[in-house]
Amino acid sequence: MMTRTAIETAPAPRAPSADDATRVAVSTVIFSLRREPGAERPTVVLPLVTRTRDPFEGMWALPGGWLDASESLDAAASRTLQETTGLAPSYLEQLYAFGEVDRSPTRVVSIVYWALIRPDEVDAVAAPENTAWFEAESCTELAFDHTQIVQYALWRLRNKAGYSRIAHGLLADEFTLAELREVYESILRRRLDPANFRRQAEASGTLIPTDRFRTGSHRPARLYRYDRDLELADRGPLTTSH
C-alpha cells in the first residue's frame, strides 16, 4: 500500500521489570432506576460496596476486582456485576480506563465499565452484604477517584440516551410507550411530550408492536417489543463492523 517516509532510530519497547507493580482492576458502574416515594419520576441509582481494607477503608466504592489473568476485560466486568447483583447485565459497555499515578496508594489502572439492569431485577434479587444502592446524582465522597467516575458514567448515560436506544436496557421485554418514555424522562430529568415521543419512537423502526395490551386503571396501552436485531452501535470496537 504505502510509501516509506523517513529514517532514524526507533526506540525499542522497554520490557517491564519485576518491580513494575502496575496492577489492572476492573470496576463497573451499574445503573438502574428506582421509584422514590415523593419523586414524580424514578431516579438513577447504582450499587456501591463498602471497602473492608486499607485504602479508603469504610468508604463506599464501585464494585470491582482484580483482572484475572485468564479472563477478558468484558468477562471481568460481567463477573463483577454477577458477584455484586447476581445478575447478567442487559447492557454492558466499557466506559474508560483510569490510570493517574496517584489515584491509589499503589499503582492501579482501572478499566471501568458501565451497565444497565432492570428495576424489577433489582427488587427481586438479594444483594450481598456491604452493598447498598445510592442515587447516582448525589454520589459524593467515594473511595479513590470513583466520585468522578460515577459522574462521568452518568454524563455518558444521559448523553447516550439522546442518540441511542439504551433505555431498553432498563425495561422488560414488553413495555408500553409510556413506560419507555418514563425511562427517558428519568435519565434526562425532564418531561417529554407524549405525542412527539410516540412519533419519534415509532419512526425509529426499532419497536415491534405486539397485539397485547397493558390493562390498567384507564385506556389499555399497547405493548411493544424492542427489535434487538437492529442492535445499538458502539458496544465496543470488536462486536460490529464499523
Partner DNA sequence: CCAAAAGTGTTATTAATACACCCATGA
Partner DNA sequence: TCATGGGTGTATTAATAACACTTTTGG
Torsion angle in degrees (nearest 10) through CA of 137, 143, 148, 152: -70
The full length of the chain comes to 242
Q: Does position 200 bind DNA by CB under 7 A? A: yes
Q: Does position 210 bind DNA by CB under 7 A? A: no
| SS3 of residue 64 by DSSP | strand
Q: CA angle at residue 65 from 60 to 66, to 5 degrees?
A: 140
What's the distance, CA 102 to chain centroid?
A: 25
User: Among its own copies, DNA, none, what does residue 194 contact (CB within 5–8 Å per kind)?
Assistant: DNA
Three cell numbers, residue 179:
413506560
What's the distance, CA 183 to chain centroid?
A: 15
d(CA 112, CA 153): 9
**Element (DSSP H or E) covering residue 79:** helix 73-85
Q: Does position 8 bind its own copies by CB under 8 A? A: yes
The pattern of x and - marking residues 154 through 193 that bind DNA according to CB under 7 A reads: ----------------------xxx--------------x
First to last CA, the chain: 21
Q: How many residues bind its own copies (CB under 8 A)?
A: 74
Q: Does position 4 bind its own copies by CB under 8 A? A: yes
- Nearest distance from C-beta of residue 220 to its own copies, angstroms: 33
Q: How many residues bind DNA (CB under 7 A)?
A: 19
Task: Choose the binding region for DNA from 38-46, 51-59, 101-109, 195-203 (rule: CB under 7 A).
Answer: 195-203
Binding its own copies by CB under 8 A: which of 52, 196, 215, 217?
Answer: 52
Q: Does position 56 bind its own copies by CB under 8 A? A: no
Q: Does position 222 bind DNA by CB under 7 A? A: yes
Q: Does position 36 bind DNA by CB under 7 A? A: no
Q: Does position 132 bind its own copies by CB under 8 A? A: yes
Q: Give 31's strand partners.
A: 116
Binding DNA by CB under 7 A: which of 55, 86, 99, 220?
Answer: 220
| SS3 of residue 136 by DSSP | coil
Say which amino acid occupies 147: T
Q: Does position 230 bind its own copies by CB under 8 A? A: no
Binding site for DNA (CB under 7 A): 176-178, 193-196, 198-200, 213, 215-222
